[in-house]
Amino acid sequence: MDLLFRGVIAPNAWAAKVRYPKFLLLLTTFVVAYILFREWEVMPFHDAFLKYWPIGAFVGGLFFVYGFTAAPATVLLLFLGRENNLLLVGLIAGLGALAGDILIFKFVRHSFADEIERIWQWKIWLWFAELTKRVPAGLRKYILLVFAGFIIASPLPDEIGVLLLAASQSISLKLFSILSYLLNTAGIFVILLIGASL
Distances (CA, A) of 104 to 26, 111, 141, 158: 9, 10, 20, 9
Residue 26: pLDDT band (50, 70, 90) is low
If we measure between CA atoms, which residue out of 44, 76, 39, 42 comes closest to residue 59? Answer: 76
Residue 23: pLDDT band (50, 70, 90) is low
Overall average pLDDT of the 93-107 stretch:
91
User: In this model, does residue 108 exceed pLDDT 60?
Assistant: yes
pLDDT for res 4: 45
159-179 per-position pLDDT tens digit: 778 877 877 777 888 988 998
Alpha helices (H) in 65-136, listed in sequence order:
70-83, 86-111, 113-119, 123-132
Whether 72 and 80 have beta carbons less than 8 Å apart is answered as no
Which residue would you say has higher pLDDT here, 103 or 113?
Answer: 103
Q: Does pTM top 0.75 for this prediction?
A: no
pLDDT for res 153: 77
pLDDT for res 5: 46
pLDDT for res 73: 83
Indicate the SS3 state at residue 32: helix
Neighbours of 89 (CB within 10 A): 27
If we measure between CA atoms, which residue out of 65, 71, 82 comes closest to residue 40? Answer: 71
Which residue would you say has higher pLDDT here, 87 or 28?
Answer: 87
